[in-house]
Each structure stands twice: as C-alpha cells, then as structure tokens.
Chain A
Amino acid sequence: MTTPAPVTGVTRDEELLRLVHAWMAQHGRGGSGAGARAVGTTGDGSDRTRRTGGSDAGAGATEEAVHLQEVEVLRAGRPGLVDVVTQVGDRLLHLVLGVRRPGEEAHLLRAGDDPVLGLLEDAEGLGVVVDALRDTELARLVLESVHGGGGAVDPGPPAPVSDDDDGAVLAFGEDCTLTVFSWLPHGPHPGVELLVALDEVGFNHLAAPLALWRRGGRDLGLVQEGLAGSAGGWALALTSLRDLYAAGGPPEAAGGDFAPEARALGTMTARMHLAMDRAFGRRSGEIRHWAEVVEGVVRTSEPSLLDGEGVHEALEMLKASGLKASTLRTHGDFHLGRTARTNQGWVVADFMPGGIPPGSDAPVFRSPLADVADMLWSLHHVASVAALERDPTGRSGLAGLAQAWEARNRRAFLTGYLATPGIGGLVPSDRRIVRGLAAVFEAERGALRSGGSQAAS
C-alpha cells in the first residue's frame, strides 16, 4: 500500500469556495446523516453567507458555514487536480477538482453529464473546473495520484459503480476500484480501518486494499483490487427467485436453488467474524441486557414486530438468561447488497459501514449474531421484493413460494455459519439461545429499517 506524497500549492480561496458550492448544488445533498441542511459559504474568515442548498435544502433547514480546511494540488498544469477539504458546519466535505484548459474536450464518464463546476484562475491561467471523478481522463489521473507507481501498468477504463453520500466508487476495468470519500469522519474512516485490519489478519473474502489515501490522520479514499467476474449477492438471489417463481414447486427441486450459495455465504460470514476476533479481539456482554435494549428499540420504532413469530418468546427467554456471550466488532450493516459472488466464492464487497450499526455513530462491539440476523433479514427481504415485483397484487400466490425459499436458505445460511470450525467460540453453545438472539436481532433490524429505504438491502 502506498500513500501519495503531498504536493503543496495555493489557489484562490474565494474561487475554490464558489466551486465547492457549485459541487454541492450539483450533488444536491447535505451529507450522510445530515438530513436537510442548507449551506452557506464564507471565505477568508468573513461572515459573508449565501443561501445555496441543493435539493435537500428544504424548508426549515438551518444554514451552515463552509470553510476551507485543506487544499492540495495533486497535479499541477493542465489537466490539473486540486484536492479540497472544507468544513461544512461540523462536518468535513471532500472533493477532487479537475482543471482543464478552456475549450478542451471533457471525457464524460456518463453520457449527457455536465461535470463543469465553474472557472478558476491560477498560475497556468484560466481553467475550467470539473468534478474530476465524472471525467474518465481525470479519474485516471486521480487513480494515478493515489496509487502512484504501484498500480497496474494500464488499468482498464473507469466506470461508475456508485456515487452517493458515502463517496464515489469507480471501477477501472477488472483491475481495481477507486473510492473517494465525500464526507469525512474526524479521524480514520472506520470502514477502511475494518478492511485493512481484516486483510492484515488474512481474511481473503474481500477486495484487498492496494493503496490508502490518507492525509492528516484522515482517510480520503482508497484503491482496492477488482473483483473480477463478480456479481452482486442481491442479483444472484434474485436470479434464483425468478427461476423458482417461474417453475413453482418446492425450492429444493428448482434448478436455481440458492441453498448451496446460502450455505457458502454462511461459511464466509463465520470466517469474517473469526477474522474480526483476530483483528480486534472480543469482549463479553450480558444476553439479558441485549434483549432489553432490543426490546426497547423495537417497541419505540415498530412495536408490531414484537408480535412476530417467536420474537416475544425469544425475548422472554433471553431476558431470563443469566448467560454472557462474546461481542465483537461486527460489519455493522451486513446484507446481500454488501456481498458479491466471484469465481473464488463469496466476498464482502463493502465494508464501509465500518462496524457502525444503524442508529449508532461509532463502531460498537456486539454479538456476531447481529450480522447474522442482518443477513437473515436480507434473505427475507429479497424474497419479498422479488415476489412483489412479479405479483404486485398478491393474487398469484407467490408468497408461499417466497416463504419456502426464505426458510430453506435461512437454514442453509445458518448451517454454513454454525458448521464453520471455530465459530463455536464466538456464539453461545445453546442453539436455543442462538436462535433466540437471531430472532430478536432480526426484529431490531426490521424495526430500524421499517421507516427507511426499501433499497436492495
């Protein structure tokens, strides 16, 4: 792994802030977990403020000041790259500006996109500033800057993978991916910390980090190896469900039976937890306490889930338990959408939750069965979504097939997980307790998600 050498340079702050402002307006967002907050800009320490907000800036939003924190010229000349970190309220926004000569052709990552943010005048003269991660040539230069000479000789052309509040992810063919974080934590990124730690302890079901982009104790981005030939876990599960819903009959007789995949996914999940244990160690927690916390969360968010099958009984059993069990740093938001299938088997494609579960703002140690419950919930969710896609009215009776698919693959996933050598040291030996914990954590997952997005998770 390499860290790029700092390149210093000075640009005019006022112009830069205007460009940051334009970037935020184009992206129309206020940042992860920030809700709807309008943004104003200040330069040179003055209090000049303008309403700027993007689409997230709704009525009643508060205005925040924007201060330049760091400016680094990654590449001088034309095309040039300027890396900017600004403080927006109490958060840090990070973006990479590309500077082209006026009239120079942009190389759009997406047809029809307009990545131009404005103009900038520096020692090279007037330049047209674009979002560097939306321009193929500039994105390659960013990769080169981050990866230095350690990368592939000629990585494949960039293609967008995702672009959201977490940051932008670009795939360069099958060689590598570049992640550039937009909103930075005040310190190391927990997702990067998790990825690197698991890689270092030999967990190989991941896209290994090739280069970290760090400055001043903060993670700005990273380069990972590509997951050649991979397909997302969600897409693979949908393939199986489409086959089942078309064929009918029991899922074990369907050609697209997912159970072998679910079992392998369970094994990979257990290996991830064993690696978490090696990397961060384990602690101990009281099962009774977990049950009480979960009950509180569910009762507040979605009390109807307490009436779910076996949830109430499980809660009572766990609250009566005087046992303790291991806690770990976990994935934090583990679902099919965070996984991928490759020719070598399953991998965790996305560690960016960093062990921070929904509702928390820092990594917490919790039972590994919380991740297990997340995936069980995801298996339920994908079966429901697929049934709804095909049978929105519910008249075709796919719900029964969905339940059968879910039951078979939950069993297979748990079998794979619990049969993995070593996992017995991390989960309670009493299978009733295991099932109970999985049930209540799953209810918690459902409660926390009930008001949120129904995205592929």
Chain B
Amino acid sequence: MTSPVPGRQAPTIGGDPSLRWFQRAVFYEVLIRGFYDANDDGTGDLRGLREKLDYLQWLGIDCVWLLPYYPSPLRDGGYDISDFFNVHPDYGTLGDLVGLLEDAHRRGIRVIADLVMNHTSDQHPWFVESRANRTNPKADWYVWNDDDQRWPEARVVFTDVERSNWTWGDERQQYFWHRFYSHQPDLNYDNPEVADTMVDLVRFWLDLGLDGFRLDAVPYLYQRDGTAGEHLPETHSFIRRIRKDIEANYPGRVLLAEANGWPADVADYFGDGDECHMCFHFPLMPRLFMAVRREQRFPVTEILSQTPEIPDGCQWAIFLRNHDELTLEQVSDEERDYLFTEYAKDPRMKRHMGIGRRLAPLLDGDRRLAELLHSLLLSLPGSPVIYYGDELLMGDNIYLGDRDSVRTPMQWSPDRNGGFSRADFAQLYLPPLMDPVYGFGAVNVEAQRRNPGSYLHWLRGMLAERRALPVMGVGHIEVLACPNPSILAFVRWGEVSEVSADAGGDQDPSTRRRTQAVLCVHNLSRFAQPAELQLAQWSGSIPLEVLGRVPFPTIGEEPYTITLGPYGYLWFDLMDETSPAGARLL
C-alpha cells in the first residue's frame, strides 16, 4: 500500500529509536509521596518507588514522571522548591534517587522529573537573602518593584486565592512578583546569574541520570511591559539554550513543556524542533469528557482540526487526569459551566478553575466509559500519560483540601493502609480511601493482578497492543467521515519498520519498512450505534481486530459498516499484501 492520502508523505517512525523513544512511550505519573512508603514513616519515598519498579515493568509503561521531590515546605505539593539541588528528606537522599534511576534503566524504564523553573518557595535561601534588602548579592534574583501597578495585562492564575501578582515585602519595602501563590516568588531571568544557574541545575540532574524534565509553568519566565507576560520570545530563547545544551551533551534526554494553552500557541514551544521535545495538549482532555457526555464527537474533532502539525522529532503528551484539578482553563465559559454541571455536582468537587476528581468517580464508576476514554487516550496522536492509580480506577476524596483529593495513597492491597505503608494510620500523609466503592478493600493492585478480568489487566493488555502498533506513536491521523455524530473514527497511519527474515535488495536484512494503518472506531454513546465509514482509500485491506486477531470483511469501495455496542471501541490493523498477516489472509 502506498501513501493513502494524496499529497502527504508517510511519516517515518524510528530513525534512531534511542533518541526518539518518547514518541512511542507511555508515561506514568507518580506522586512519590503517595506511591509506596519503604521506611514506614507514613510518606511515600524513592526507595518505595524503587521497590515497585517490578510492578511498573509488568504493567508495561515506558517512562516514569516524578512529581517534585526537592526540599520544599510543601505548601504547593512540592512545586514550592526551597533547594533545587537536593532531595526532600521525606523522600530519601540523592543516593536513593540514583539507585532508583539505575534500577529503572535496567528494566528499560526511563525517568523524568518535574522541574519548576519559574519560581521558588519563599523559604528558598535565595529569596530569603533577596528580600532582606536591596543591595545583597541575590537582590536581583527575583522581580521587585516599588509599586504593584506594573504589568496589569498579566492575568492572575489562581483567582480564587490571589488577588494580585504582586505581594508586599516588608523587609525590603518593595513588592515582589509571583504568577502563582504569593509564597512562590518568580525568579528574575533577566539576571544572567539566574539563567546560568538554572542551566547548571539542568546539567546537575542529567548528570545523575535523569532522562529529562517536565518543565513546570514554563510560559511565565520573563515579563515585559505591555504584554501578558506569557509565551514571550525571551522565554523561547532560554528554552533553546537548554535544548542546545541537551543536544550537545545529553542526547536522548527530553524536555516536556507544561504550557496550558491553545494547541497552535503551545506548539510554539516545539520551536523549529529546537525547543521542547514534547508539549502537553491541555485542551483535548476536557473535550474528551465533554464528548462522552454529549455523546457526539465534535468537541474532540474540533480541537483535533485546530491542532497544528508539529516538527519532526516532536510529540504531544496527552492525558485524562493528573495530579492537578481537571483544569477547565481552555474551554469557554459556557463549556466550563456545562462541565461543572456534569462532573462536579457537589461544589466541593470544584478546585480553582477545574474539578478535583479522579477518573473513575468522574465517570460514576462506569468501567465501559473508562475503557472508552483509555482507548481514545491510547490511540489519539500523542504519548499517553497515565496518572498513578487510574490503572485500577482508584477513587478520590473530595473532602481533602486543595488538590489532595486526587493525591491519596496508592492502593496496593486490602491490608492495613492499603499496603501503602506500615506506619500508624495517624502518621500517613493523607488517609487512604476506605469507602466501600473505591476504598483499598475493594480496589487494589493485589486483587486486580489476581483477577484476569480486572481493569488493571485490561489496561495492561491495551498497553501491550499499543506497543505492538508503532504507528500509534507518530503516525498521521485521518479522522473519518461518518454520518452518525456519536461515532469518532480515525485511521492512524505511517511508515513503520518491522523485523523480517526475507527482506531483499539493499535493505537491512533484519528489517523492512511498510505503511501501517490502524483503524480506531469509538462509540461515544451509551446506546449501540452503527458506524458507516468511508474507507475506500483502504479498499482491498482486511481489518484485523487487534485484541482478538479476528479478520473482518474486506474493505471495498462502498461505505464500510460496523456496529458498536454501548461505549464500544474497536481497533483494526488494516492488513494489506505488504503486511505479514495480510499476506496470509489475502
């Protein structure tokens, strides 16, 4: 089969797979504090995570993303860092981190970590010194001003908590700038010492073996008069500086940007392939939840149609839930109201401009819906990020403050504290869930690993299937026409390399290249639905259902009709004469 869409060249998957591993990887986001407590003090730690690497390897993830593990007063989940060059003592030592990295790498698992470059804790020694007076060596490491009127165009991010981006510093008798909480002063990147120090910081962690960073709050590094202080050219320039250093000295390491914006704007953080390797695609996530409630595909297809092509060697990161609230910044006021109505019926579920709930409770525990959303997550363009516990359909606790509702301990077993810790219950950093529906008695790793029909086994199987379909990584997406608005169907296609014993000519005898196409069909409705798909460009192919390897009728020129059950999903490998199975079937 040649390129099925005229005018578009099939993307090449592979190149140097060790350098572009992130394009096909499945990421797993871990809150160290909540994952596993190895020293019985009630808080998860690096040694605990290291002990659970076997589980992560069994699950089939490729990269662990660690939330901040740096020393911090923990007023914002560790995003208020008080020492960039160390590990929070609750989590262990630098040695524990190195041990974790070595063990993970031995298992083929990479590890990236959060890096907050925009600000520090107000308890960071740099800020303590800076705020003391206007003449100390760190006086210009933060952004100070005599009044609080500068940069009025810059929005306040946490509008429910902060009224201004300026806060008064008594000692120095000036205001300091902060885009987030007032206890998180922004660093002054116009000071070359700051910029140089942050480059050194990146090198420090990469030298220890980290495989990359998720750059937190990256759009806000610089401020300029007359602007909103976001996405400024100076910020991009600084990212290019870091990227250049990585390319030269740390090839294969990755930068993942947290820039919550419209895809066309966020794509700027890819640069010309010379800034971040990956960016989060924030607007997709709320629209997935919108689509399944509305039972129509348009919320998703609209945002896909507005997602630009990205430079070669880059990748989106997509997710269903994460450690923050389900953020609704990137939806209209009307859509936000709708999502609050549908998914946050209790006011306590609201957090900032979002919803503080985990995946399973958001879906009222409906496993069919969870499978549907995970099927979309694993098949849409981008590398999927799974939040710890969502593989079990863990619940949340909306009565906990801020975003702790979704940060309760991982549920390993039905034993004391859910198998998370052997500490006294009162010592735990947060109480584990104990309710009859989502509590550790009902939802835990041990029970689900024993049960082949569990959600954990289902998701593990899907991850394995995805791994076997390299086109899911960076293949093109072709959204298919379907008169039924409840059907979201698309084909992922691109050129793949595969092992072959009979490759001839001047090809490497162990591999050959072919165009792979995977048809993914999703029913967003609670009712069974017909899908009449225009697949004539794949005429002659046999759709091989991926999970059961069941061949479906050959695609012809006429519309191809499939029936899906409620919230049904099907993946088909479109086999032609160039594919091994296709050669047998055709």
- A contact residues vs B (CB 8 Å cutoff): 107, 110-111, 136, 152-154, 156-157, 159, 171, 173-174, 228-232, 235-236, 239-240, 242-243, 246, 252-253, 255-257, 260, 341, 343-344
Contact = CB atoms under 8 A, between A and B. Distances in A.
B362 to A, nearest CB: 12
Interface string B29-52: 000000000000000000000000
Nearest to A237: B485
A257 B294 contact: yes
Given A153-B6, A228-B481, A343-B302, A159 B558 contact: yes
Contact of B485 (A171, A231, A255): A231
Interface string B229-250: 0000000000000000000000
B557 interface: yes
B338 A260 contact: yes
Contact of A243 (B7, B479, B526, B534): B526
Given A153-B7, A157-B557, A159-B534, A255 B482 contact: no
A110 B559 CA distance: 10
B558 A239 contact: no
A310 to B, nearest CB: 29
B136 interface: no
B197 interface: no
Nearest to B537: A156
24 contacts: A156-B534, A157-B557, A159-B558, A171-B534, A173-B534, A229-B305, A229-B479, A231-B296, A231-B298, A231-B482, A231-B484, A236-B296, A239-B295, A239-B296, A239-B485, A240-B295, A243-B525, A246-B526, A255-B342, A257-B294, A341-B485, A343-B298, A343-B301, A343-B302
Contact of B341 (A230, A240, A253, A341): A253
Contact of A257 (B7, B338, B536, B559): B338
B298 A341 contact: yes
B536 A156 contact: yes
A154 B57 CA distance: 47
Contacts of B557: 107, 136, 157
Contacts of A256: 293-296
B23 interface: no
Contact of B301 (A107, A229, A257): A229
B342 A239 contact: no
B526 A229 contact: no
Interface in B447-495: 479, 481-486
A260 to B, nearest CB: 6
**Max count, chain A CB within 10 A of own CB: residue among B294, B335, B484:** B294
B536 to A, nearest CB: 4
B334 interface: yes
B488 to A, nearest CB: 10
Contacts of A153: 6-7
Contacts of B526: 243, 246
Contact of B295 (A152, A156, A255): A255
A242 B526 CA distance: 10
B507 to A, nearest CB: 29
A240 B525 CA distance: 10
A174 B295 CA distance: 23
Interface in B16-71: none
B331 to A, nearest CB: 11
Contacts of B294: 239-240, 243, 255-257
Given A235-B483, A255-B292, A341-B485, 10 more contacts: A157-B536, A157-B557, A159-B536, A159-B559, A231-B483, A231-B485, A242-B295, A255-B295, A343-B305, A344-B305
A260 B525 contact: no
Nearest to B535: A157
Interface residues of B, number: 34
A344 B305 CA distance: 9
B485 A243 contact: no
Given A153-B6, A239-B296, A253-B341, A173 B485 contact: no
Nearest to B558: A111
Contacts of B341: 252-253
B527 interface: yes
A157 B479 CA distance: 16
A111 B7 CA distance: 31
A253 B338 CA distance: 9
Contacts of B559: 159
B537 A173 contact: yes
Nearest to B305: A343
A80 B499 CA distance: 48
Nearest to A255: B293
Contacts of A239: 294-296, 485-486, 525
Interface in B543-586: 557-559
A110 B486 CA distance: 25
Nearest to B478: A174
Interface in B479-532: 479, 481-486, 525-527
A348 to B, nearest CB: 17
A55 B240 CA distance: 74
A257 B296 CA distance: 11
Contacts of B293: 255-256
Nearest to B292: A255
B534 A154 contact: no
Contacts of A228: 481
**Cβ-closest 3 pairs across A and B:** A255-B293, A231-B485, A157-B536
A12 B345 CA distance: 75
B447 to A, nearest CB: 31
A173 B479 contact: no
Contacts of A229: 301, 305, 479, 481
A37 B65 CA distance: 75
A235 B298 contact: no
A236 B485 contact: yes
A250 to B, nearest CB: 11
A133 to B, nearest CB: 15
Nearest to B6: A154
Contacts of B6: 152-154
A156 B6 CA distance: 10
Contacts of A252: 341
A231 B305 CA distance: 15
B138 to A, nearest CB: 51
B305 A174 contact: no
Contacts of A171: 534
B26 to A, nearest CB: 28
B267 to A, nearest CB: 18
Contacts of B298: 231, 341, 343
Contacts of A152: 6
B333 to A, nearest CB: 11
B203 to A, nearest CB: 44
Contacts of B334: 260
Contact of B525 (A230, A232, A242): A242
Interface string B290-313: 001111101001101100000000
B3 to A, nearest CB: 11
B321 to A, nearest CB: 19
Given A111-B558, A256-B293, A174 B481 contact: yes
A111 B296 CA distance: 30
Nearest to B306: A343
**Max count, chain B CB within 10 A of own CB: residue among A157, A229, A242, A243:** A229
Contacts of B485: 231, 235-236, 239, 341
Contacts of A174: 481, 534
